[in-house]
Structure 1
Amino acid sequence: MDNAALADQLDAFAALLELAEANAYQARAYRRAAELIRATPVPVEDLIRSGRVRELRGIGAGIEGRLRELVETGSIAELRELERELSPGLIGLGRFLGLTTKRSVELAKALRVRTPDEFREAVAGGRLRDVPGVGPKLEARIKVALERTDARSGPTVLLNRAKTLVDGIAAALDGEAAGDTRRWHHAPTRLAVVSAAPDALARFEALPQIVAMIEGHCGLTVEGIPVELVVAPPERFGTALLQATGSPEYLAALGPLPDAPTERSVYEALRLPFVPPELREAPFTGEPPRLLEQADIRGDLHTHTTWSDGRFSVEEMGRAARDRGYDYLAICDHTPAVGAVKGLTGDDVRRQGEEIAAANERLAPFRILKGIECDILPDGRLDLPDDVLAELDWVQASVHGGQRMPKAEMTKRVAEALQHPSVSCLSHPKGRIIGRRPENALDLEAIFPIAREHDVALEVNGLAPRLDLSGEHVRAALQAGVRIVCSTDAHSIDSLATMTLAVHTARRGGATAADVVNTRPL
């Protein structure tokens, strides 16, 4: 089994563990192991057979046992048992219809059905009305949902999960990822893959990620996430890929598209410059800039350690950043006002500074910067004394509590903080948590002149639930002459990889390397 196949099986196992309401940590561990295996450059099967797989960080005895079972038998017995117990196809269809896992299982048992097709037949035959607890309203809602043809109406999925899902399917079908994930949209709703393989549909239906099919070439995951398959002949593959990638508004502005084997040849036929996928959100004219590349990033300026809510030490984070080819890393642990986790007092900051200095001696010429993620208090003051802040290399000012503050108050609060001489950057300015908390009322247009005057950058936070600033806000900041920082807010070594999300979010706003502070040398 190659690395992708091993990772797909672990992902499927993690999804069913989550649906079975097993230990949440266990499911996350399998999910992380799947990500690790996908990113490992050597064949993991060889490591498993030689007994060396636990050399990979995050692979413990339990996961090693599952991996050994996979390579020796081709499957995981507990996964097969969960599939028999939970009927993934029915759960996936139920989640797509808006039903909970528990409700889907209850309905399946009451109707004595095991497959999505049997469920559809039962609903069409009026058998739902005989199920206790199902009234006319629920029956009508399920019928309407089953008739739905829009594959974009599944559950909310974060970009990192959507990317992993779509990229894995594309690789398995010798195709290309398309849809919202190729544009790096922060909340993707259209997940699509384009393939020219003659047997693409049959291979798609057989993938472990796909548990049910709806409306032709659209498959569902066990979480109810719809993934669209576009099959195109080689001579019009580029046209299909462009059509499956651009937003409706962008495509409408292009007009009729010629058939072509590559996207670049489509643009050439239209006599237009090639436009990177991130800029295909709205109609785009003119020559695109040379957008920021991940290779341009010289360091990460927002990370956490065990001093607050991180999982690794100062030196461990520094070594991991150095191994990624960075020149520097800022340690920015929390201050006490964050509330939900341990925060650093002034004395703590100075003690941590001693640890940073010692680590720098061992890691030179790589440099760990003394930083802090300092809470902005409701009145605009910062959560540490001025003399402590003045000793630091990098100060992230952040709003955590009070995200529902009215616009005028929130804007005054942040504006006051940005005028502090020690502040370097405003963290996750709009405070959103995708799918859980909307943006706060901060008036960015009022903040931009203050940030520019006081040489304060605004952060593009790479955590998948944040991606804040958004691409739209990045564009506005750059137009106002404000510089940005692409950071990860990493709380672990693995999370340093989310720089990719920050970079592509910045690209959605048209950012070049010159617009980004941490493309510069130390």
Structure 2
Amino acid sequence: MDNAAIADRLDAFAALLDLAEANPYQPRAYRRAAETVRAAPVPVSDLVRTRRVRDLRGIGPGIEARLRELVETGEIAELRELERELVPGLVGLGRFLGLTTKRSVEIARALGVRTPEEFRAAVAAGELRSVPGVGPKIEARVRDALTREREPRPGLLLDRARALVGAIADALGGEPAGDVRRWRDSCEHLAVVCSEPVAERFAALPQIVAMIDETRGLTIEGVPIELHVAPPERYGTALLRATGSPAFVAALGPLPDAPTEEAVFAALGVPFVAPELREAWSPGPTELVTEADIRGDLHCHTTWTDGRFSVEEMGRAARDRGYDYIAICDHTPAVGAVQGLTADDVRRQGEEIAAANERLAPFRVLRGIECDILPDGRLDLPDDVLAELDWVQASVHAGQRASREAMTARVSEALQHPAVRCLSHPKGRIIGSRPENALDLDAVFELARVHGVAVEVNGLPSRLDLSGEHVQRAIAAGVQIVCSTDAHSIRGLAHMTLSVHTARRGGATAADVLNTTPLAPPGRGVQR
């Protein structure tokens, strides 16, 4: 099996573990392993046979055993058993219809069906009402959902949506479109555009467990993915239309046929608009910030608190990414969820950072901190300790449900502290789990501008905070942006991609982003 095929089976196993309501760690571990396998520069099957596969990061003994079984037999027995028990096509369709995994399995067993087609036929024949616990309301809802052209679905986080759509596009020789190409933080509309007929290959992909209709496939998570096929001379038009947003496309008027998006815009006589700016008709700047512009990552954690790698390991990995610097910003005690650094800890960590800098020079590891803002606006470390640091970012963790007045007063007090250089994840959201806090951003942006404090676009997939919309407001207020990852591991440094593209959604150029600039002389941190 080649790496792509192995990775697909690991992804399928992760999805089925999700459906089986396994420990959340397990599907995450298998998805990370799938990413590692897909990106491996050598055949993973060879590494398995020579017992070197655990040299790959994230492959432990459990996953190694699964890989050995897969390489030697062509399948994973537990995966086959889960497929037999859960009937992925039906579970995927059930999720699309708003049913839980358990309920989908119960209904399938009661009806004696094994495929989406058999389920549709049973519903059409009125057999659904014979299932215990299914009354007229549920039957009507399922019938309605089966006939509706597009059922609104909860969004996938951007990193998961990108991995899913990217793998399908790669397999078909196509290109991701929809929300993924616009880098939305939560993706509902997923699409792939291809230039040659691939319908049969699309339906046969391991990620697709059922077809809703001729152009829409269904993943095991119940997420529909659209397939758009256009001849080369109309490919650009199809890509633009499938990328959306619908409001943006409608504002362009009738689209001419063209082989590239650039040719479509040229024929319309309007400047090219980057996909990130296509939520509405708002052309914005033409030279947006790129990942290549980033000179360093200003928010990373280590084993001193809740990170998985040492100071030097994180620094070395950042240097390998081509950066000039990295800021180590571990937590302070008030964070609560982990044991934060005391004043003495910060100074001892400073010694480790100094030693790492001797080995990594001219690359620089900055002494930083993610300092909690206490309820009264004070910072969670003494002023003399904060004054020693190269980079201080202030954060709110506990108390995200405070009133607008209380939250704004708390943050405003902290921003006036002379040591604070950045406000981290200002709105405190966890996408799909915790809504934004009530912080008055306009008041905070004005204070940040006056005191020279930047605001962060946090690259964790579940945060992406500030959002693109808020970035636009910060830039308009004259406040600088910091694109950072909040990395808790070497792998987490890759989240810079999400941070940068989120900043681009707000129209950020390299000049708007603080960490596109070089370091000031030692002891002065990053230039303002």
**Per the shorter chain, which TM-score range?**
over 0.9
Per-residue Cα deviation, 1:451-502 (whole angstroms, up to 9, x for no partner): 0111100000000111011111111111111000000001111111000000
The residue correspondences of 1:169-208 to structure 2 (distance < 5 A) are 169-198=168-197, 200-208=198-206
What does residue 312 of structure 1 align with? 309
SS at match of 2:226: strand
- 8 Å Cα contact 1:149-1:215 kept in structure 2: no
The residue correspondences of 1:135-174 to structure 2 (distance < 5 A) are 135-150=135-150, 153-174=152-173
Aligned mates of 1:381, 1:445 — CA distance in 2: 21
Aligned mates of 1:154, 1:212 — CA distance in 2: 17
Please point out which of 473, 477, 489 is paired with 1:476: 473
SS at match of 1:214: strand
- 8 Å Cα contact 1:490-1:496 kept in structure 2: yes
Per-residue Cα deviation, 1:270-309 (whole angstroms, up to 9, x for no partner): 12222211111110347x3311111111111001112111
The residue correspondences of 1:385-404 to structure 2 (distance < 5 A) are 385-404=382-401
Aligned mates of 2:49, 2:462 — CA distance in 1: 37
Aligned mates of 1:252, 1:418 — CA distance in 2: 42
Per-residue Cα deviation, 1:188-237 (whole angstroms, up to 9, x for no partner): 11000011222x11111000001011133111111111111111122211
Aligned mates of 1:305, 1:55 — CA distance in 2: 22
Aligned mates of 1:397, 1:303 — CA distance in 2: 14
What does residue 345 of structure 1 align with? 342
Aligned mates of 1:217, 1:154 — CA distance in 2: 18
The one-letter code of the counterpart of 2:512 is D
What does residue 321 of structure 1 align with? 318
Does 1:419 pair with 2:386? no
Per-residue Cα deviation, 1:66-112 (whole angstroms, up to 9, x for no partner): 22333344332321221111100011011111111111111111111
Aligned mates of 2:297, 2:2 — CA distance in 1: 32
Q: CA deviation at 1:374?
A: 0.8
- 8 Å Cα contact 2:277-2:283 kept in structure 1: no
Please point out which of 509, 514, 519 is paired with 1:517: 514
Listed as ranges, the gaps of 5+ residues in structure 2 are 520-528
- 8 Å Cα contact 2:158-2:180 kept in structure 1: yes
Does 1:488 pair with 2:488? no
Aligned mates of 2:472, 2:287 — CA distance in 1: 15
Aligned mates of 2:449, 2:282 — CA distance in 1: 27
Aligned mates of 2:91, 2:143 — CA distance in 1: 16
Aligned mates of 2:457, 2:259 — CA distance in 1: 35
Per-residue Cα deviation, 1:419-476 (whole angstroms, up to 9, x for no partner): 0000010000111111111111111111112101111000000001110111111111
Moved more, 272-281 or 469-478: 272-281
Aligned mates of 1:336, 1:231 — CA distance in 2: 55
Listed as ranges, the gaps of 5+ residues in structure 1 are none
- 8 Å Cα contact 1:302-1:331 kept in structure 2: yes
Does 1:300 pair with 2:273? no
SS at match of 2:32: helix
Q: CA deviation at 1:62?
A: 2.6
The one-letter code of the counterpart of 2:182 is R
Aligned mates of 1:284, 1:111 — CA distance in 2: 51
Aligned mates of 2:70, 2:478 — CA distance in 1: 54
What does residue 260 of structure 1 align with? 258
What does residue 383 of structure 1 align with? 380
The one-letter code of the counterpart of 1:512 is T
- 8 Å Cα contact 2:19-2:101 kept in structure 1: yes
SS at match of 1:505: helix
- 8 Å Cα contact 1:487-1:502 kept in structure 2: yes
Sort the Cα spacing of 1:206 and 1:477 in 2 relative to 1 into closer, same or farther, 3 A. Answer: same
Per-residue Cα deviation, 1:343-370 (whole angstroms, up to 9, x for no partner): 1111211111112112222222211111
Aligned mates of 2:437, 2:257 — CA distance in 1: 45
- 8 Å Cα contact 1:155-1:224 kept in structure 2: no
Aligned mates of 2:266, 2:517 — CA distance in 1: 35
The one-letter code of the counterpart of 1:127 is E
Per-residue Cα deviation, 1:3-40 (whole angstroms, up to 9, x for no partner): 32221111111111121123332222111111112233
The one-letter code of the counterpart of 2:108 is A
- 8 Å Cα contact 1:173-1:197 kept in structure 2: no
Please point out which of 494, 505, 510 is paired with 1:508: 505
Moved more, 15-24 or 509-518: 15-24
Structure 1 length-normalised TM: 0.96
SS at match of 1:485: strand
SS at match of 1:192: strand
What does residue 134 of structure 1 align with? 134
The one-letter code of the counterpart of 1:168 is A
SS at match of 2:156: coil
Does 1:330 pair with 2:318? no
Aligned mates of 1:478, 1:301 — CA distance in 2: 19
Moved more, 3-12 or 370-379: 3-12
Moved more, 307-316 or 160-169: 307-316
Aligned mates of 1:488, 1:38 — CA distance in 2: 22
Moved more, 161-170 or 209-218: 209-218
What does residue 406 of structure 1 align with? 403
Aligned mates of 1:65, 1:436 — CA distance in 2: 34
- 8 Å Cα contact 2:273-2:286 kept in structure 1: no
Aligned mates of 1:440, 1:44 — CA distance in 2: 45
What does residue 27 of structure 2 align with? 27
SS at match of 1:373: strand
Structure 2 length-normalised TM: 0.95
Aligned mates of 1:463, 1:419 — CA distance in 2: 27
Aligned mates of 2:5, 2:273 — CA distance in 1: 33
- 8 Å Cα contact 2:457-2:467 kept in structure 1: yes
Aligned mates of 2:19, 2:403 — CA distance in 1: 38
Q: Considering only aligned residues, what root-mean-square deviation do their CA atoms show, in Å?
A: 1.5
What does residue 44 of structure 2 align with? 44
Does 1:243 pair with 2:228? no
SS at match of 1:6: helix
- 8 Å Cα contact 1:95-1:155 kept in structure 2: no
What does residue 525 of structure 2 align with? none
Aligned mates of 1:192, 1:449 — CA distance in 2: 40
Aligned mates of 1:301, 1:284 — CA distance in 2: 30
Sort the Cα spacing of 1:249 and 1:298 in 2 relative to 1 into closer, same or farther, 3 A. Answer: same
What does residue 523 of structure 2 align with? none
The one-letter code of the counterpart of 2:17 is L
SS at match of 1:467: coil
SS at match of 1:333: coil
SS at match of 1:249: helix
Q: CA deviation at 1:57?
A: 1.2
**Percent of residue pairs bearing the same amino acid type:** 76
Aligned mates of 2:332, 2:38 — CA distance in 1: 36
- 8 Å Cα contact 2:256-2:264 kept in structure 1: yes
